[in-house]
Amino acid sequence: MTKRFPFAAALLAALVSPAAGSDAADLENLIYMDLEDGRVAIETRPDLAPNHVARIERLAREGFYDGVAFHRVIEGFMAQTGDPTGTGRGGSHLPDLEAEFTLAPHVRGVVSMARAQDPDSANSQFFIVFADARFLDGQYTVWGEVVEGMEFVDRIERGDAGANGMVADPDRIVRMTVAADAGE
């Protein structure tokens, strides 16, 4: 847990602890992304981006993200995944989404949708920022925030700076699930 998100430990405990009285609705707003090095917990933000959160949850439930590479990873900036082709040009079988831009800040641990030039071109690709990237605010749809396991995100293999961060031997998502479905 980073010092930036002091509320995260309490939130995560409330979401996953049966003693805390968590219910299925709370667990719907938590995504587990298992990496080779450990589990990353992402709190979703349906209050900011309900359509994007619904898309991520649907694709996670379909197993879409399982085994997908972090194809573009730029030191000090972000790690991008969600393209089953690993090229940065692929997406899911679903139509692209309309942007749900907000002024939510792109700070360390924030999860946002990747897109092409068209603001309404987000589909399945997303990125997690390693460090504050406030120049992205209002231009990309923020749909979540890492609340546990950022140290595992920090270990994702970096790409070639000369190739826009493309990774030759990328790390992959082992499994991505909605916490309500995890049965833990």
**Tally of residues, the chain:** 184
Q: Can you give the pLDDT at residue 182?
A: 85
Interatomic CA distance for residues 42 and 104, integer angstroms: 16
**In DSSP terms, which residues pair with 43 in a beta bridge?**
30, 145
**pLDDT beyond 80 at 141:** yes
**pLDDT beyond 90 at 4:** no
Domains of the chain: 36-181 (2.40.100.10)
Mean pLDDT of the chain: 89
- pLDDT, average across residues 131-142: 97
Interatomic CA distance for residues 170 and 33, integer angstroms: 16
- pLDDT of 27-83, one tens digit each? 999 999 999 999 999 999 999 999 999 999 999 999 999 999 999 999 999 999 999
Q: Can you give the pLDDT at residue 183?
A: 76
pTM of the model: 0.86
